[in-house]
Chains A and B, each alone.
Chain A
Amino acid sequence: MGKIIAGIGTSHVPSIGVVYDQGRTQEPAWKPLFDAYEPVKDWLKEIKPDVAIVVYNDHGGDFFFDKYPTFAVGAADVYPVGDEGWGRRPLPDFTGDADFSWHLCNELVYNEFDITVCQEMAVEHGFMVPMHLCWDHGSDWPVKVVPVAVNVIQHPLPTALRCWKLGQAIRKAVESYPKDTKVVILGTGGMSHQLNGARFGYLNSDFDRDFLDKIQNDPMALTELTHQQIMEDAGAEAVELIMWLTMRGALDGAPLRQVHRNYYAPMTTGMGLIALEEAV
C-alpha cells in the first residue's frame, strides 16, 4: 500500500538554482543555506522514499495567464527541465510514475478536487530548486516525482484551508494505492517576501519563525490566515506559503518528529526549511 512517510517545507528561490549551477554553494553568504540541507539529504538517503510529491507554483515556466490552473497534477513518466528565460539548466529531466499519478488524479477528482491533469509538464525553479536542495543526482534522480502546481500568483488564489484539504485528500489517495510505495511530500515557496512595488524586499523574520513553529505544532491556526493577512504581514509574494499547508495536511493525524529546521534571510526572501517524519 502507499504510505506518506514524511513532509518537507522549503523555500524555492531562483537564485539558489543559479548559485548551485555555478558551484558557488560554499561562498560565505550561501553556505548557511546549502549546508542546512545536508542533514535532510542524509535522512532522505536513509528513509528512501519511492516518490516525491512536490507542491509548487509555476512562475511562467510552463503556464501563462491565458489559462492558469488553480491546481494541476502531473501524470507523465518524464517531466522535462523547463526554460524560464535563462536557458535550460544543466539538470537531468525528472522521472515520473504515471500509474501512481493517475491513481492520485482519479482519487482527487472523486474526492471533489477537480484538478487539471497534465500529461506534458515542464518543471521550473519552484519545483527544481527544492529537488536539488534535498537530493543529489547523477544522470538521473534517486526518486520519482509528481509535480503538483498551485496558483499562488494570480488572484483569486485557493484559500489556505483549501490547500490544507488538498493535502488531506492526497494522503487518502496515497493510502489507497495498491502497490507498496513510500511517499514524501514537499510544500515549497515563501517565506516572507515581496517583489512588486516600492515595498520590494520586504521581509518579516518574526512571521516566518512563527510560521515554522505552527506548521509543525498548530497548522489549523495557519489555515485560518487570509491572503490579505499573509500579504500584509509577510509581503505580497509570501502567499506562496499556503502550499506548505498542502504538505502539512498530508501529514494530518500522524504523530510527527522534527528531523531538521533552518531559517536564513540574507536577501529578499525568508528561506525556511522544516523536515517532518511520521513517528512510527
Chain B
Amino acid sequence: MAKQVDSERPIEDTKIFDAEQTRLGYRLNKFAMSLVKLANREAFLADEDAALTASGLNDEEKQLIRDRDWRAIMDEHGGNIYMIMKIGAVIGEGLYQIGAHQRGQTYEEFLATRNAAGAK
C-alpha cells in the first residue's frame, strides 16, 4: 500500500498536521477554539493578560500569543491554521496577515504576489 504520508519525502516549508503536531499544539489550539464563544472573545478583548493567565497555557505559549508570533506558533508549536485563525479574528488579524507573517513578508508584499488581490 502506498504511504499516505511519507516522512522520507518532507515537503519544503510545510508542516503536516499529524499526531506529532496535534499533540505539540494541543493547548494552543484548544485555547484558540475556546474563542468560538462570544463570552471568551469579550473576555480576551477586555483583558488579554487576565484571559491568558486563566487559559492554562504555559508561559512560552502565552508569550507567543502576546507577540502575535504566527510563524513560530505554526512552524514550531503545533498551531493548526483553522484554530489559530480564531485568535487572529479576535484581535483583527485575518488569514492573509497570518500568512504573510509565516512567509516573512509584510501584508502588502504578500498581496503583491497574488493573481487578483482584490479578492481578499
What total of A-B pairs shows CB separation below 8 Å? 144
Known contacts A197-B13, A228-B9, A85 near B85 by CB under 8 Å: yes
Query: Chain A contact residues: over half helix, strand or loop, or mixed?
Result: loop
- Contact check, A28 vs B118: say whether CB atoms are below 8 A apart: yes
- Contact check, B5 vs A29: say whether CB atoms are below 8 A apart: no
B99 to chain A: closest residue by CB? A200
- Contact check, B118 vs A200: say whether CB atoms are below 8 A apart: no
Known contacts A87-B38, A228-B4, A154 near B117 by CB under 8 Å: no
Known contacts A27-B118, A267-B116, A199 near B14 by CB under 8 Å: yes
Q: Which residues of A contact B41 (CB under 8 A)?
A: 85
Bin chain A's interface residue count. Answer: 35 or more
Report how far A194 CA is from B81 CA in the complex, Å: 10
- Whole-angstrom distance between the Cβ of B100 and the nearest chain A Cβ: 8
- Contact check, A65 vs B4: say whether CB atoms are below 8 A apart: no
- Contact check, A197 vs B118: say whether CB atoms are below 8 A apart: no
Answer yes or no: A135 CB below 8 A from chain B CBs: no
Q: Which of B14, B19, B117, B118 has the most CB of A within 10 A?
A: B14
Determine which of B74, B103, B116, B119 lies in contact with A15 in the assembled complex, contact meaning CB atoms within 8 Å: B119
Residues on B close to A: CB < 8 A? 2-6, 9, 11-19, 22, 26, 29-30, 32-33, 35-38, 41, 74-75, 79-83, 85-86, 89-90, 95-96, 99-100, 102-104, 110, 113-120
Residues on A close to B: CB < 8 A? 14-15, 19, 27-30, 33, 59-61, 64-66, 82-87, 153-157, 159, 194-201, 224, 226-228, 231-232, 236-237, 265-268
Contacts A29-B117, A153-B80 supplied; 10 other A-B pairs, CB < 8 Å: A65-B29, A86-B89, A153-B17, A155-B4, A194-B14, A198-B104, A201-B114, A226-B2, A265-B115, A268-B99
